[in-house]
């Protein structure tokens, strides 16, 4: 289960970035705001073993040529930031909230820690967020509902605690929600039934409790549902058969009983 960061199809990520390019204005504002936003990250990175940001993010080159940065072809605004697997250590500053055209944000497999600044809520164009495999702490922010275009959200392998905010249920475009290996607890929110486009849901290896909400069985597009290693209880009803697209179901290591004629995985 822990390898889902590697398994997510690259073609989906590429499609998201291309879609960003296609939907942005052809206007060409200057890049000063984006440059300052990214330079604001540099002092918050306390460990950059390969000196990638230190040597590459400089005034000598255009921000659009910086490592990990992709700009729109027609307007030179930053639409993607991908710092995957660079062994960076540090915190996320509020400055990143000024990347107003950002569609794709991927910083997985690093050592970022601390909480997420509320200024990120300004990134209303985001379609893809991957904060997986870091050391972030705190509750999942309720202001994530600001990402109205979001299609994929990866928060796995961190130290998030508390409950899943009901506000995530307003993300009607969400297709992928990956929260495994955190310290989340409480019940799975009923608001999840509003995620009508949800295809992948990974909540395993947390401390979720209570019964499986009937709301889960209203997510008719679900293909993968993974809830293993929690404290869920009660009966898995026949309603699970309503998930006709479901190809993978993981419920082991809970306190669940099945009404199905076939045993649970």
Q: Which CATH number is 70's domain given?
A: 3.80.10.10
Boundaries of domain holding 18: 8-258
Q: Is residue 263 part of a domain?
A: no
- Compute CA distances 110 → 82, 91, 134, 191, 203, whole Å: 11, 11, 5, 31, 21
Q: Token pair of 201, please?
A: 């849901």
Which residue stretches of the chain are H helix? 4-7, 10-23, 32-39, 52-56
Does residue 264 form part of some domain?
no
pLDDT at position 72 is 94
Q: Is the pLDDT of residue 42 over 80?
A: yes
* Mean pLDDT score across all residues of the chain: 89
Range with lowest mean pLDDT among 37-46, 150-159, 171-180, 250-259: 250-259
What is each CA distance from 117 to 64, 123, 161, 180, 245, in whole angstroms?
24, 12, 16, 22, 37
Query: What is the per-residue pLDDT for 59?
Result: 87
Exposure b/e, 142-170, CB count within 10 A at least 16 = b: eebbbbebbbbbbbbbbebeeebbebbbb
Per-residue model confidence (pLDDT) at position 260:
59
Minimum mean pLDDT range among 16-30, 103-117, 144-158? 16-30
pLDDT at position 11 is 44
Q: How far apart are CA 213 and CA 21, in angstroms?
A: 39
DSSP 117-135: PGGGGG-TT--EEE--SSE
pLDDT digits (tens, 9 = 90+) for 162-216: 999 999 999 999 999 999 999 999 999 999 999 999 999 999 999 999 999 999 9
For 129, residues 6+ apart whose C-beta sits below 8 A from its C-beta are 105, 106, 147, 150, 152, 153, 154
Instruction: With respect to residue 227, please indicate whether it lies within any of the assigned structural domains.
Output: yes
Supply 237's token pair. Answer: 């009803």
| Residue 148, in any domain of the structure | yes
| CA–CA gap between residue 38 and residue 35 (Å, rounded) | 5
pLDDT recorded at residue 104: 98
Q: What angle do CA 21, 26, 32 make, to 5 degrees?
A: 85
Does a structural domain hold residue 89?
A: yes
pLDDT at 22 over 50: no
Domain for residue 2, yes or no?
no
Q: Is residue 222 part of a domain?
A: yes
At 106 the pLDDT is 98
In a domain? residue 110: yes
76-85, 219-228, 255-264: the lowest-pLDDT one: 255-264
| Confidence band, pLDDT 50/70/90 cuts, at residue 26 | very low
Task: Give the pLDDT confidence score for residue 237 in this predicted structure.
Answer: 84
Q: Convert the pLDDT of each residue in 65-121 to its tens digit.
A: 999 999 998 888 999 999 999 999 999 999 999 999 999 999 999 999 999 999 999
Q: What domain count does the chain have?
A: 1
Average confidence (pLDDT) over 238-245: 92
């Amino acid at each position: 289960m822990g390898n889902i960061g590697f398994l997510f199809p690259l073609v989906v990520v590429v499609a998201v970035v291309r879609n960003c390019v296609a939907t942005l204005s052809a206007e060409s504002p200057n890049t000063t705001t984006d440059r300052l936003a990214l330079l604001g990250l540099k002092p918050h990175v306390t460990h950059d073993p390969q000196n990638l940001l230190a040597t590459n993010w400089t005034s000598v080159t255009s921000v659009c040529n910086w490592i990990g940065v992709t700009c729109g072809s027609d307007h030179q605004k930053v639409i993607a930031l991908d710092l995957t697997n660079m062994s960076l250590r540090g915190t996320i500053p509020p400055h990143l909230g000024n990347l107003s055209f950002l569609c794709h944000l991927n910083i997985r497999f690093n050592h970022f820690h601390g909480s997420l600044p509320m200024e990120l809520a300004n990134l209303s164009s985001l379609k893809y967020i991957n904060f997986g495999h870091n050391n972030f702490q705190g509750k999942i922010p309720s202001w994530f509902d600001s990402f109205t275009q979001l299609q994929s959200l990866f928060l796995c392998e961190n130290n998030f605690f508390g409950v899943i905010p009901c506000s995530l249920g307003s993300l009607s475009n969400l297709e992928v929600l990956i929260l495994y290996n955190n310290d989340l607890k409480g019940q799975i929110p009923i608001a999840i039934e509003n995620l009508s486009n949800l295809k992948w849901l990974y909540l395993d290896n947390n401390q979720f409790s209570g019964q499986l909400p009937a709301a889960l069985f209203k997510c008719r597009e679900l293909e993968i549902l993974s809830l293993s290693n929690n404290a869920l209880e009660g009966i898995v009803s026949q309603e699970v058969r309503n998930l006709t697209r479901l190809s993978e179901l993981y419920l082991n290591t809970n306190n669940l009983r099945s009404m199905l004629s076939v045993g649970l995985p």
